[in-house]
Structures are given as C-alpha cells and as structure tokens.
Chains A and B, each alone.
Chain A
Amino acid sequence: MKHVANGIVAVKRTHKLSKSVALVALLFSLLNSSIQLSDASTKTSIESQVESIQKKYSAENEAWIRKMRACKSKAEESKLLPLSPTMTKYVPRMTTLMKSAPKDPGAGTAALWLVTAAENPAQAHDAIGILKKYHLRSKTMDDAITFLWFTRIPEVKDLLKAYIAQQPNKTLKTTATFSLAKMFAEENASVEAIRLFEEVARNGKDIPERKNSVRTLEEAANSHLFELRNLLVGKKAPDIQGTDVIGKQFKLSDFAGKVIMLDFFGFW
C-alpha cells in the first residue's frame, strides 16, 4: 500500500497527523467493505483461505488504528507511525493462492488485494493480468472501481479500460470512467483526462460520486474539468467572490498585485 501511503504522507507532512490516520482508516474500510466474500455455503477453498489472510491483516490494522487514535501526543503518534502493519508478509501466500486457480473467485479477491499491497508497479503486474483475464465481470471488480485509482499504478488504467469496455451497466461504466480520468489527471495527462471527464459529465447526472455522497458524478466531473482548465500551475487564478464570517463581501482580486497564499483549511 505504499503508493497510497505516499499520498497520505503529503497530507501528513503539514500538520494533521490525526487526519492522515483517519484517511488510512477510511481507505481501509473501503477496501474491507468492498471485498465481500460470498456466503459460507458456496465458498471455494481458495476463497476461504484468502478470507482468513484478509481477516488476519484486518485485525492487525484495526488494532494499530485504535492505538493511533488513543495517542495523546504527536510524539507518541510519531513513534507508532512506522509500526503500521504491512501487507508485505502476506504477499507470497496470496500470490500462491491466486496462481493456483486463477479463475476461482477467490483468486480475483486475492489479485485485487495484491494490487493494493504492491510496493511498486511491477509487483502488481501479474495480479492485474489475472483480474483482466478472468474477473472483469465480478462483484470484486464492481466494488473496486471506486478506489483502485488510489493505487497510482499506471497499469491499473489498462484494467479500468478493459472493465469499461465490457461493462453494460451505465452506473458502473461511468464510475469506472471517472476513476480512469482521475488517474490520467494525476499523471498530468490533461488531454485524455479532459476527454474522459467530459464523458462522465454527460453520463453522470443521477449517479452519486460515492456511496452516500451528495455530489453527483456529473458535478464532480465538472469540478475536475474546471480544475484542469483553470487551476493548473501557470494558469491565471480565477477570481473568488464570497463573504467573510460576518457576512462582509470581498474578492480574491482585492489582493491583486500581491503574492497571495490561498489557503483552503478547516478543523471540522
């Protein structure tokens, strides 16, 4: 989960350690909630074995998050931070299970787990191949499309493309397209990102961005389009009109001619 962890470090570096822990917890719960295994009666042997590894790792992670939350000082947190449980030690076992029967639903779950556990893009290669070949139409993939972009593994784009190409359901297709667009945007491939966000803006009218989210995919895609067109380094900053806390109106352009540090912040 190193790629994801790197993203978190960027946030943490400034000042909100507790927020980064919350982010790990969020990501983790996403991962867990989306890897739903079929019920016991129909489970294959591979599925059961994969599930038991996942449970072990989950328990370790939950214990660590509990400890982080209980920390009373930054110093205490910093000491605990490097002790976060790693997925690495389970990789060989998961890889063996996945390769022993690549078409088994359990192999799909294992492959997805391995993609998120990969410490570099090359480590995810085999797992991505198996997902692409055997598991494009699976609940495992349907649930993964909202968070797979977090991995920042370039090859995940191919997996998303293959998923989109075969997906008849509009909601799933558009959600996956949104993830793919975000990956292109993160790689600074603006032209491709804009093309895909435009597609999502057209098709995402009634689709929530995430489960329970107020923002629709159409709105989210339009925000991304606004960012790509107007908010990249080198662009002229658009003006902001708003009010301060007592309702007095002011504009960002009131400070024109100065160097402005525009700071989106909050402690909610």
Chain B
Amino acid sequence: MLPHERSLVNELKNKPFAIVGVNSDPQDKLRTLINNKRVTWPCFFDGGDPQGPIASKWNVSSWPTIYLIDKKGIIRFKDHYLDEKLLRQLLEDGTASASRPAIDDGVIKSKGTQSGK
C-alpha cells in the first residue's frame, strides 16, 4: 500500500489533499521508513504499539484502517481500504458535503453565512 500512497501524494500535490498517518511501529522502524522515503507524508508516532494512545482512543483493531475526512472536517468514509473514487469526488467538491446539492453550497456561500471554520 505504501507505494500507492506515495504516488497519491505525488499526483495530488497541487490539490487540497493530505495523508496523515498514525503509525504503530517501533520508533526506529518508522524512522527507517521515513529516512528511506517510503513514507513521505506526516505521521503520528503512536508509541510503537498497536494499542498506542491514538489507535486505542480511535478504537482501531485491524490495520490498515482508513478514514476520509472532507474539507469541512466531516468523516465521510472509514474502512480497511481506500475508496479512491470518493477521495477524488471529495477533492473536486468546491465545498463540503457531496450529499448536499452543489447549488446549495453556492447559495450559502453567496449569502455569506458560512461559518468559515
């Protein structure tokens, strides 16, 4: 999966996109992954333990677990694989949720009522 993530980072570098990792490996192993440019995106070091504080809090029990979070910070997907079609759709969405008609967002914007958060 790592090669695929690297190519996503590369391909989408001009898009509003970020991969954020939460890694459960021991520190030296994660460091090697980063030094060897196998991991080229920001990564939380989770204590070197699959039951580290972040994975525990997020109740992750099988790996990989992938969340897609849209531009408004809403969780749009979670599973053990990446829904790339949805990812690309979320990137193209000018604003928030694809479940709402695009025009709706336009109206909100033009009225200037968007919270801006």
Q: What CA separation (Å) do A217 and B57 show in the bound complex?
A: 14
**Which of A7-15, A47-55, A79-87, A163-171 has 4 or more CB atoms under 8 Å from chain B?**
A7-15
- Give the A-B contact count at a CB cut-off of 8 A: 166
B18: chain A residues at CB < 8 Å are 255, 258-261
Task: Name A12's closest neighbour in chain B (CB-CB).
Answer: B80
Main secondary structure of the interface of B (DSSP, over half): mixed
B20 with A252: CB separation less than 8 A: yes
A243 with B45: CB separation less than 8 A: yes
> Is B26 positioned at the interface, with any CB of A under 8 Å from its CB?
yes
Q: What's the tally of chain A residues with a CB closer than 8 Å to chain B?
A: 44
Contact with B along A62-94 (1 / 0, CB 8 A): 000000000000000000000000000000000
Query: A242-268: which have CB < 8 Å to B?
Result: 242-246, 250, 252-253, 255-268
With both chains docked as a complex, state the minimum distance between the C-beta of B117 and any C-beta of chain A, in angstroms: 8
Q: How many of chain B's residues touch chain A, expressed as a range?
A: 35 or more
> Is A233 positioned at the interface, with any CB of B under 8 Å from its CB?
yes
> Is A162 positioned at the interface, with any CB of B under 8 Å from its CB?
no
With both chains docked as a complex, state the minimum distance between the C-beta of B90 and any C-beta of chain A, in angstroms: 5
B74 with A237: CB separation less than 8 A: yes
B31: chain A residues at CB < 8 Å are 245-246
Q: What CA separation (Å) do A264 and B21 show in the bound complex?
A: 6
Task: Name A232's closest neighbour in chain B (CB-CB).
Answer: B75
> Is B106 positioned at the interface, with any CB of A under 8 Å from its CB?
no
**Which of A101-109, A126-134, A145-153, A220-228 has 4 or more CB atoms under 8 Å from chain B?**
A220-228
Contact partner of A231 (CB less than 8 A), chosen from B8, B42, B59, B71, is B59
B43: chain A residues at CB < 8 Å are 244-245
Interface residues of A (CB under 8 A from B): 10-11, 13-16, 19, 214-215, 219, 223-224, 226-227, 231-237, 240, 242-246, 250, 252-253, 255-268
Interface residues of B (CB under 8 A from A): 1, 5, 8, 15-27, 29-31, 34, 42-46, 48, 50-51, 53-60, 62-71, 73-82, 87, 90-91
